[in-house]
Amino acid sequence: MALGKVTRRRFLVRSAIPAIAAGIGIGVPRLNAVAQAASSVSIVPASGPGAVPVTLNVNGTEHAMRIEPRVTLLDALREQLGLTGTKKGCDQGQCGACTVLVDGRRVNACLTLAIAAEGKKVTTVEGLASDGKLHPVQAAFLEYDAFQCGYCTPGQICSAVGLIAEGRTRSDAEIREFMSGNICRCGAYTNIVAAVKAAAGHA
Amino acid sequence: MIGAPLTRVDGVAKVTGAARYSYEEPVANTAYGVIVTSTIAAGRIASIDAKEAQSLAGVLLVLSHENAPRVKADAGDRKLQVLQDDAVFYDRQPVALIVADTFERATDAASRVRVTYDRKAPATTMSSPGAQTYTPSQANNNPPDTTRGDFDAAFASAPVKLDNSYVTPTEFHNPMEPHATLAMWSGDELTIYDTSQGVFPRRASVAKIFGIPDTSVRVVSKFIGGGFGSKGGTNPYCVLAAMAAKVIGRPVKVVLTRPQMFGGFGNRPRTEQRVRLGADRSGKLTAMAHDVRSQGSRYDDFIENAAVISRMLYAVPNQITTHRGVRYDVVTPTYMRAPGESSGSFALESAMDELAYATGTDPLELRLINYAETDLSEQKPFSSKSLRQCYAQAAQRFGWASRKAAPRSMRTPDGLLAGYGMASSTYPSNRSSASAAATMHADGTVLATSGGCDIGTGAYTAFTQVAAEAIGLPVARVRFDLGDTTMPPAPEAGGSQLTASVANAVHAAGVALREKLAGLATANRNSPLHGRQLADLAFGDGRVFVRAQPVTGERYADIVRHSGAPSVMARADVQHDRRAKGPYSSHAFGAHFAEVHVDPDLGTVRLARMVSAFAAGTIVNAKTARSQFLGGTVWGVSMALHEEGRIDERTGRYMNASLENYLVPVNADIPSIEIILVDEQDEFVNPLGIKGIGEIGNVGSAAAVANAVYHATGKRVRELPISPEKLLT
């Protein structure tokens, strides 16, 4: 089976690259400047570029902010906008806890610079429920007990919303494979698959 | 209500992102702390140059041993003496803390602190020159060594003898939430929002290190993103946050980076275990020796009590068990899910599997031949034991009977090697003192509290159910709160003890509350219950009524209103010495059955499915309990196939310090695990009959997978994890 041959590392690499690519967008020149600075720490001046104006559209609301270019989307959400539903698990694009939707695609917010999300629509776990009604994926996670500690859960849920939109729910094996960028250390995987299946209408 | 599969009461908060974990507490003016860690494993700090770091915009403080406030010596582990002197005992030991007004500035500054060292060549493995073996005074509160009968004579004369050694590697907990503390002082009063498995033990430890009364420290832990033992003891980051907040006079939060979680608070120690089994030709055990060597640090004691499970799991009359620690230049290991039982069961249950093949006995039959009707280690009957039912139900559901006995005799339709393996599981039923309070409000709702922690176990939900049942209310009218030292005290969520401890206290508080309400009603001339005796009353659906005449009664809400007080509160304190020995031995039991598929050319192992059955007394919530058993079982799969902290033997640094390189299962690794809850009532273990369930899933599960790999391949891997190269060589 072809799917079974995808190793965990290859999967992570494959899932991380689109996340970075999705994040680059308009921010290419600035991103390069930061990347160069980071690669040669000992010779850069003692302070980095100062704060720049950025407008982020998060869950349908525009936020005019001033942030240093090196601030990730994840830290902008959590530390500046107070949207702490998006979690920091590794800050290295390896665990998926920070998964958000950018223009409908799932990306790792820790690998996306906030300035690179300008002009895009960012959806976090806080933006999924509407009119006090849980999103079907949220309701299914509750029903199937698809979490324990809850820390990977917002990322799992955003990832599942993206997965369903991608049409990757044709079999349990496919759900498992394409949810494998989101680590759950509590080990709720079989319940996560049941929840995603139910939410996708295959229950 | 007790036992019902109630959906998590804190679940909506978790699926909407509203649940706040400690680092997320919105406290104004909080500064960001980032830890600088050592790059050597042994030696001394020669110099710290923080001039460049200090010159950066936004940097508020650089703390090192040169300027850090002094803490109390001899106040717990040596590693809590953080920034107190220039000594380095382990790689990634904190050597400085940067505090800045943003996370980015603190991180940047931390990267510019230049530290030089006088490095000592470290001993980095258990067999390195300089590693020292020691005899511990205890092994996780158990005697380190035991003997019964005459092992030497019985082993010498046994017709069947096995003598093999097993290795479990250093493992790192890696909860998804990195360890974090937000600390703030008001005068000499300290408040910490902490990733803690127990707010009361944390408070006691932090108070001691800062030399202030317990009552001057408040610890809050409302949501914890997984602990697995790693958030039990107090660790350096917590002390650093409190130190820095004191120095700069503003709140400071400190979080570990993921690489810092490989050495920042400890790990499951590597174990080297020798197991000798003597048996007759039918497989009946006559002699067993289990000798454990456990990774240890230079400066604090911790022993993985891996041989303890061997003292009670089987009816073996002649036995020796020993534990030794091996000191080298690493961080002190710590508790990790089923400390001792998980690693020990890998060795014991692998050895039992080897005995099954050596005697031509079915592995399940071998367990039944050696079934322990009493606990031989304590010479006591079990308060309950349903292991036979676990074996039977799981074996039936799994289809164990269709297993072909010979190794390498089963194939999948697409040509992979298939193997079936099984193993037993057990974990002791622990309990500690706990208190709880329950308050009835005039609107007929109850707030019940106890200062335990919910690390993902479902404690919020389970205790809501217990309170509702005890008081006689629908669960929708009960709110349970926890995780704060302003509440009645509770023990740490560790050793699978929290539910058994706190549920009994919550139940007692609920009963006390309903009786107090009944007393108010029977004393009130205007109540329809005036003058009635408590013994004639019953409780349910939010009211007290006459048992023989249920229409005569009074609603709780009305009793509170008529009392003239805004609410009525009752509290219960249930005392229990965890180490006290009663007339019974109490353990939960279980059985794991696993099928694996192995690629014969590549040596890659995939779990195909597992069926695991557990009997653990009263199950408070069938839904969350199932999830706990499931999660524990996944941990066993992970131990068998994935996890290994790999140390650089030249430097003493764990090399694979990331979730990319330290493997844990992802969704694709766990196709199907079925959990069976076996009915069991235990009238002796504690009033509610609850045994712990947090660890047992992780006991025996690694062995079941390893045994399945042997059955599939005919190759016995005695050193975990079972990585492809071990099957190809």
Please state the φ and ψ torsions of residue A38, each to the nearest 5 degrees: -70, -25
Residue ranges covered by each domain of chain A: 3-127, 136-199
Residues of chain A with pLDDT under 50: 1-46, 203
Q: Distance (Å) from the C-alpha of residue A200 to the closest C-alpha of chain B?
A: 17
Q: Six-digit token pair at A192? A: 């996560």
Type of residue numbered B540:
G
Q: Is B371 helix (H, G, I), strand (E, B) or coil?
A: strand
Q: Six-digit token pair at A82? A: 């107070």
Tell which residue, B55, B61, B542, has the closest CA to residue A47.
B55
Report the Cα–Cα distance between both ends of chain B, in Å, rounded. 55
Fold of the A136-199 domain: DNA polymerase; domain 1 (1.10.150)
**Is B378 labeled as catalytic in the residue annotation?**
no
Nearest C-alpha in A relative to B228: A186
Q: How far apart are CA B611 and CA B599, in angstroms?
A: 22
Q: How far apart are CA B577 and CA B538, in angstroms?
A: 33
Q: Distance (Å) from the C-alpha of residue A80 to the closest C-alpha of chain B?
A: 10
Fold of the B338-430+581-728 domain: Aldehyde Oxidoreductase; domain 4 (3.30.365)
Instruction: Read off the pLDDT of residues A158-178 as tens digits, 9 standing for 90 and up.
Output: 999 999 999 999 999 999 999
Q: Which residues from A are below 8 Å from B104, CB to CB?
A: 68, 70-71, 75
Q: How far apart are CA B46 and CA B118, in angstroms?
A: 6
CA angle B234, B235, B238 (to 5 degrees): 90
- Upstream peptide bond of A136 is cis (omega within 30 degrees of 0): no
The b/e string for A76-110 (b: 16+ C-beta within 10 A; e otherwise) is bbbbbbebbbbbbbbbbbbbbbbbbbbeeebbbbb
Provide the chain B residues 412-451 that lie in CB contact (below 8 A) with chain A: 414
- Chain A touched by B26 (CB under 8 Å): yes
Q: How far apart are CA B264 and CA B236, in angstroms?
A: 8
Beta strands B94-100 and B59-64 are antiparallel
Print the SS3 string covering B248-275: HCCCEEEECCCHHHCCCCCCECCEEEEE
Q: Which residues from B are below 8 Å from A143, CB to CB?
A: 7
Q: How far apart are CA B353 and CA B711, in angstroms?
A: 10
CA B119 from chain centre, in angstroms, equals: 35
The DSSP output letter for A124 is -
Residues of chain B with pLDDT under 70: none
Q: How far apart are CA B351 and CA B371, in angstroms?
A: 16
Kindly report the number of other CB atoms within 10 A of residue B711's CB atom.
29
Specify whether the CB–CB gap between B697 and A190 falls below 8 A: no
**Contact state of A138 with B224 under an 8 Å Cβ cutoff:** no
CA distances from B41 to B48, B86, B90, B316, B330 (A): 17, 13, 4, 43, 7
Domain A3-127 and domain A136-199, same fold? Reply is no
Helix (H), strand (E) at residue A137: helix A136-143
Looking at the partner chain, which of A91, A150, A187 has a beta carbon nearest the beta carbon of B223?
A: A150
- Chain A touched by B28 (CB under 8 Å): no
Fold of the B11-120+175-257 domain: Aldehyde Oxidoreductase; domain 4 (3.30.365)
Q: Which residues from B are below 8 Å from A39, CB to CB?
A: none
CA B333 from chain centre, in angstroms, equals: 14
- pLDDT reported for residue A35: 37
Residue ranges covered by each domain of chain B: 11-120+175-257, 338-430+581-728, 434-574
Q: Is B618 helix (H, G, I), strand (E, B) or coil?
A: coil
A3-127: CATH architecture: Roll (3.10)
The β-bridge partners of B323 are: B292
Query: Residues with Cβ < 8 Å from B235, sequence gap 6 or more?
Result: B79, B80, B179, B264, B265, B266
Q: How far apart are CA B532 and CA B523, in angstroms?
A: 9
CA distances from B621 to B107, B436, B503, B543 (A): 43, 19, 12, 24
Specify whether the CB–CB gap between B44 and B88 falls below 8 A: yes
**Contact state of A190 with B606 under an 8 Å Cβ cutoff:** no
Catalytic residue among B171, B695, B719, B725: B695
Q: Distance (Å) from the C-alpha of residue A84 to the closest C-alpha of chain B?
A: 6
Provide the chain B residues 244-263 that lie in CB contact (below 8 A) with chain A: 255, 257-258
Type of residue numbered B343:
S
Looking at the partner chain, which of A46, A48, A92 has a beta carbon nearest the beta carbon of B52?
A: A46
Q: Is B494 helix (H, G, I), strand (E, B) or coil?
A: coil
The DSSP output letter for B332 is P
Looking at the partner chain, which of A138, A175, A183 has a beta carbon nearest the beta carbon of B666?
A: A183
Specify whether the CB–CB gap between B556 and B570 falls below 8 A: no
Looking at the partner chain, which of B14, B21, B635 has a beta carbon nearest the beta carbon of A187?
A: B635
Please state the φ and ψ torsions of residue A94, each to the nearest 5 degrees: -115, -10
Give the A:B interface size as CB pairs under 8 Å: 199
Nearest C-alpha in A relative to B636: A187
CA distances from B316 to B143, B189, B376 (A): 19, 55, 8
Q: How far apart are CA B305 and CA B171, in angstroms?
A: 15
Please state the φ and ψ torsions of residue B513, each to the nearest 5 degrees: -65, -45
Looking at the partner chain, which of B15, B112, B659 has a beta carbon nearest the beta carbon of A95?
A: B659
Q: Which CATH number is B434-574 given?
A: 3.30.365.10
**Contact state of A188 with B630 under an 8 Å Cβ cutoff:** yes
- pLDDT reported for residue B577: 86
The DSSP output letter for B319 is E
Residue B653, CB-side half-sphere exposure with 13 Å CA sphere: 13
Specify whether the CB–CB gap between B660 and B460 falls below 8 A: no
Q: Which residue has the tokens 């230079």?
A: B298
Q: Six-digit token pair at A42? A: 């000992």
Please state the φ and ψ torsions of residue B565, each to the nearest 5 degrees: -100, 155
DSSP characters over A162-180: HHHHHT--SSHHHHHHHTT
